[in-house]
């Protein structure tokens, strides 16, 4: 029998260390919210392949959609011979994304590739070079998206020089406000700061787009105040700047709305989606105003594998599942329960510095001291390891890797959810002592 250790030795021999894994285990199979490793141990999955399996592992209807499509054709390249599922999926995304204006959608393979294309489209349309991104943002690992990403280690360190014309603003990280203010008396200074930014960092006439996550994912489940995006969006509109919402992690129901930006009542010019869109098959999309999406010349967008038909069929099945199983309401229920339990943890354990949530996107920020807010990075690492030993898979987030960010499948049962939350509490109490 293959063991995790044997496979890990092989992995270390044949795969570069840069391709890191949080957990030293290998999957044998996965179903619903459970992953079974090669040694037969079962884990409750609170990571969901980093927020990719909102509909659960190997959902029967997603499997059927994939199998049906495989029987017909696997690849023709949409740029050579087109196929209906691509067009059908584009139509559905144009319908369900916020914005009552005319929209078009194109598909690529990964989140990073979607962000790259959104930036290409914004630059092409505006004829301007600059992009504004945010502190603690994560947009991917390609040269441009790594440059848009904020965290140095491990994502950027040693990989420079970075792509030019990227300018970085503070995010609305209320727990660690860059301006030393408190909500609501701050009057959302961090959003209005964009106006100052045009004088101190980059002139508005040179800015093609502002790209922002409605809730920071990798940055630590940071949830801006309700007014924040409306202000940013309005300022962008005043200056002809394309507002791009990166919904790659927040999208597909995670926050109790199909797209997190809906909570903020903002209609972005472009939305990029990925991760959970196709139940685990690589696919990402860019949906935007028709006049933006149609601006680049024919042949300027796309790629060999972009919008693979199997992935498009899986995504159509995922959309059906959201309706059939009302996964958006389920995200709300999960979020309520997780938030309650995490608030209890905050009452009991001083290591829990902050608890914040939007739908099922609920995070705990762990700190060594509540006054100094020194990040409890080592504690978080130990917590994740101990949880795994107890049968729960989790991942951390945040510039200091001191935030727990559960990304469980939205089809998780109440029992599995309780079990997972119990494991977190048990592990915190053991390490805290
Ligand atoms: C908000 C956000 N944008 C972009 C990406 C990059 O996606 P991918 O890893 O599919 O390239 C991620 C991945 O974690 C993400 O969370």
Q: Which atom of ligand 1 is nearest to the CA of 142?
A: 11
**Could you tell me if the CB of 221 is within 6 A of ligand 1?**
no
**Could you tell me if the CB of 211 is within 6 A of ligand 1?**
no
Q: Which atom of ligand 1 is nearest to the CA of 115?
A: 4
pLDDT for 211: 99
Q: Which atom of ligand 1 is nearest to the CA of 247?
A: 1
pLDDT for 431: 93
**Could you tell me if the CB of 354 is within 6 A of ligand 1?**
no
pLDDT for 39: 97
Two structure tokens written together for 322? 């959201």
Q: Which of 108, 248, 250 to mutate to test the pocket of ligand 1 (most atoms within 8 A of CB)?
A: 248
Q: How many CA atoms lie within 13 A of 276 on its CB side?
A: 31
CA of 217 to the centre of ligand 1 (A): 9
Residue with tokens 């505006």: 126
For residues 334 and 310, what is the distance between their CA atoms, to the nearest angstrom?
Answer: 30
Q: Which of 139, 215, 306, 405 to mutate to test the pocket of ligand 1 (most atoms within 8 A of CB)?
A: 139
CA-based nearest residue to 397, from 210, 214, 137, 177: 137
For residues 181 and 102, what is the distance between their CA atoms, to the nearest angstrom?
Answer: 39
CA-based nearest residue to 339, from 384, 347, 322: 347
- Do 223 and 402 contact (CB within 8 A), yes or no? no
- Do 363 and 405 contact (CB within 8 A), yes or no? yes
**Reported pTM:** 0.98
The rounded average pLDDT for each run of 10 residues, N- to C-terminus, in the chain (433 residues) is 95 97 98 98 98 98 98 98 98 98 98 98 98 98 98 96 98 98 98 98 98 98 98 98 98 96 98 98 98 98 98 98 97 98 97 97 97 97 98 97 97 98 97 83
pLDDT for 432: 82
What separation in angstroms does the CA of 391 have from each of 34, 55, 159, 179, 395?
Answer: 10, 21, 36, 41, 13
- Do 144 and 115 contact (CB within 8 A), yes or no? yes
**Could you tell me if the CB of 219 is within 6 A of ligand 1?**
no
CA of 420 to the centre of ligand 1 (A): 25
């Amino acid at each position: 029998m293959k063991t995790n250790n044997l496979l890990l030795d092989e992995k270390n021999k044949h795969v570069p260390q840069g391709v890191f894994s949080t957990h030293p285990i290998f999957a044998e199979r996965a179903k619903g919210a459970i992953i079974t490793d090669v040694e037969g141990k079962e884990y409750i999955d609170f990571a969901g392949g980093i927020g990719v399996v909102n509909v659960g592992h190997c959902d029967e209807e997603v499997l059927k959609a994939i199998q049906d499509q495989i029987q017909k054709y696997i690849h023709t390249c949409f740029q050579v011979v087109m196929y209906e599922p691509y067009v059908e999926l584009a139509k559905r995304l144009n319908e369900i994304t916020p914005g009552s204006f005319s929209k078009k959608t194109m598909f690529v393979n990964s989140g990073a590739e979607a962000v790259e294309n959104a930036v290409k489209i914004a630059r092409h349309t505006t004829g301007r070079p600059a992009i504004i991104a945010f502190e603690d943002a994560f947009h991917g690992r390609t040269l441009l998206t790594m440059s848009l990403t904020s965290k140095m280690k491990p994502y950027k360190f040693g990989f420079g020089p970075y792509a030019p014309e990227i300018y970085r603003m503070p995010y609305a990280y209320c727990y660690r406000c860059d301006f030393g203010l408190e909500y609501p008396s701050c009057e959302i200074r961090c959003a209005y700061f964009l106006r100052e930014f045009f004088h101190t960092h980059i002139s508005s006439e040179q800015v093609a787009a502002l790209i922002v996550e409605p809730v920071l994912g990798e940055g630590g489940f940071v949830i801006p105040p309700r007014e924040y995006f409306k202000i940013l969006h309005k300022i962008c509109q005043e200056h002809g700047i394309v507002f791009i919402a990166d919904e790659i992690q927040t999208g597909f129901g995670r926050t109790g709305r199909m797209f997190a930006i809906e909570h903020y009542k903002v209609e972005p010019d472009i939305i990029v989606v990925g991760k959970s869109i196709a139940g685990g098959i690589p696919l990402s999309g860019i949906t935007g105003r028709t006049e933006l999406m149609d601006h680049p010349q024919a042949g300027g967008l796309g790629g060999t594998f972009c919008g693979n038909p199997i992935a498009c069929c899986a995504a159509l099945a995922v959309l059906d599942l959201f309706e059939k199983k009302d996964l958006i309401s389920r995200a709300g229920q999960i979020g309520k329960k997780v938030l309650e339990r995490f608030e209890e943890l905050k009452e009991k354990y001083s290591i829990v510095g902050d608890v914040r949530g939007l739908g099922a996107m609920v995070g705990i920020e762990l700190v060594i001291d509540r006054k100094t807010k020194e990040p409890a990075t080592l504690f978080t690492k130990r917590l994740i390891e101990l949880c795994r030993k107890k049968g729960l898979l989790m991942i951390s987030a945040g510039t200091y890797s001191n935030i727990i960010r559960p990304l469980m499948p939205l089809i998780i049962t109440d029992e599995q959810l309780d079990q997972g939350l119990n494991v977190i509490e048990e592990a915190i109490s053991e390490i805290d002592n």
